[in-house]
Amino acid sequence: MPAAVYVLGLTVFCIGTTEFMISGLLPDLAADLAVSVPTVGLLISGYALGVAVGGPLLTVATLRVNRKTSLAGLLVLFILGQTLGALAPGYGVLMAGRVIAALAQGAFFGIGSMVAVDLAGPERRGKALAVMFAGLTVANVFGVPAGTFLSLHAGWRVSFWVVDALAVVALLGVSTLVPRRPGTPHPGIRAELAAFRNPRVWVALTTSMLTQAAIFCCFSYLSPLFTDVSGFSSAAVPPLLVLFGVGCFAGSMVGGRFADRALLPNLYVGTAAMAVALAALAVAAPHGAATVVLLVVFGLAAFSINPALQAQVMREAGEASTLATTTNTSAFNIGNTLGPWLGGLVISAGLGYTALAWVGALLAVAGLGSVAVSDALRRRARRGVPAVPWPAAAPVFTEAR
């Protein structure tokens, strides 16, 4: 795998750590900024909104810009937002810094995916995407706990500065290792928008949203489930989350391998396995040993589909897939927001933490249904039966399903 793909993975690690580490900094931020914990929690929602809205807009703005230049510019924007957050004298400036940093994420993920696939070759598309987006897994396993540790011992601003420094290293890597390829002329914004006339693109985006909602409905509240239901001590929570992260990392690698060979079967098996694991967790949560095993299985199944989710959108969008892949990042973040919100409703209704796993399982089943719809649409297209009377729909490719 080209070294530049690993540099992209480092950047994803920096971005992922910034996105998720706020959850570990909530008490310190609330005390230092003199605001409530729920108010600090809005920093997470503000970031997600910045990703969902800013990603497609910046992608459109950079369509005709060389991809290497776009990646470097987006990293500079991320660094500026992160620096503003580290220097923030108050809550409002910190929120502004978070939103600025978030604007870069969606576009970077979309353009970076195209660059990673271009460097690795189409036959290794899934593996390249797995390497790049493994940065998100590593961010959850090491980045978020490290940020929390630094905040406890040196202050939350140090956590921001460390991520900032790593982002500068990533910027140097992009500047030196990502080749400046002229490539083929870009088809233009009309072609990019025309890809969204293909109903299979929307089904793929829906699959991404539903599966991420299934993951984060349960993942966001794993800590109280461990302590209040499974009987673990608070000290055991970080090691348990590391075990979940190990499962996620293994799932990313396995998923990247099979996304190249059989994309839809990968989605079928991974999504079904996640639904089963969540349902089993809902039943077995009071038993500590079973919880540990199911936690690893949940992480493995949940992240085994991530490379395929991104590859599916790229495949369905055809040649003009830059905007579609960026929009897929927005779909991920909508799911990341929807899942915890639904989980909060479940908790507020007094249904208990195990009910979260049941809701996650139902969302995974809905995602499985979305995969089945995508499969049916592709089979109809192969038989020459259009799903809708949209002649501009992206062409069907004959690669392995």
* Dist CA 96 CA 225 (whole Å): 33
Q: CA geometry: angle at 333 spanning 364 and 108, to 5°?
A: 125
Number of H helices, E strands in the chain: 17, 0
**Which tokens sit at 133?**
């987006």
Residue 157 has pLDDT above 90, yes or no: yes
Q: What is the pLDDT of residue 188?
A: 64
Mean pLDDT calculated for residue range 80-109: 91
DSSP labels, 328-373: HHHHHHHHHHHHHHHHHHHHHTT--THHHHHHHHHHHHHHHHHHHH
Q: What 8-state DSSP symbol labels residue 285?
A: T
Q: What 8-state DSSP symbol labels residue 234?
A: G
Q: What's the CA dihedral at 72, 77, 83, 84 to 10 degrees?
A: 170
Mean pLDDT calculated for residue range 257-266: 77
Kindly list the distances between the CA atom of residue 112 and the CA atoms of 5, 13, 322, 352, in Å, as whole numbers in the listed order: 9, 13, 9, 40
Alpha helices in 62-143 (DSSP H): 67-87, 91-120, 125-138
Residue 6, C-beta contacts closer than 8 angstroms, at least 6 positions apart: 131
pLDDT digits (tens, 9 = 90+) for 13-25: 999 888 878 766 7
CB 324 within 8 A of CB 189: no
Mean pLDDT calculated for residue range 306-330: 77
Residue 94 has pLDDT above 90, yes or no: yes
Between the ranges 67-76, 176-185, 303-312, 391-400, where is the mean pLDDT highest? 67-76
Kindly list the distances between the CA atom of residue 350 and the CA atoms of 140, 338, 344, 353, in Å, as whole numbers in the listed order: 29, 19, 10, 9
* Dist CA 290 CA 77 (whole Å): 44
Q: What is the pLDDT of residue 345?
A: 83
* Dist CA 67 CA 120 (whole Å): 15
**Which tokens sit at 329?**
């990042």
CB 106 within 8 A of CB 326: yes
pLDDT digits (tens, 9 = 90+) for 56-79: 788 777 777 788 888 999 999 999
pTM above 0.85, yes or no: no
Q: Is the dihedral of CA 6, 8, 9, 14 positive or negative?
A: positive
pLDDT digits (tens, 9 = 90+) for 344-388: 788 878 888 899 899 999 999 999 999 999 888 888 877 765 544
Residue 376, C-beta contacts closer than 8 angstroms, at least 6 positions apart: none
Q: Which residue has the tokens 């600025």?
A: 100
**Which tokens sit at 305?**
């589909």
Alpha helices in 220-287 (DSSP H): 222-224, 237-261, 263-284
Torsion angles phi and psi, residue 51, rounded to 5: -65, -50
**Which tokens sit at 92?**
């409002």
Mean pLDDT calculated for residue range 274-294: 93
Taking alpha carbons only, the member of 214, 179, 166 closest to residue 15 is 166
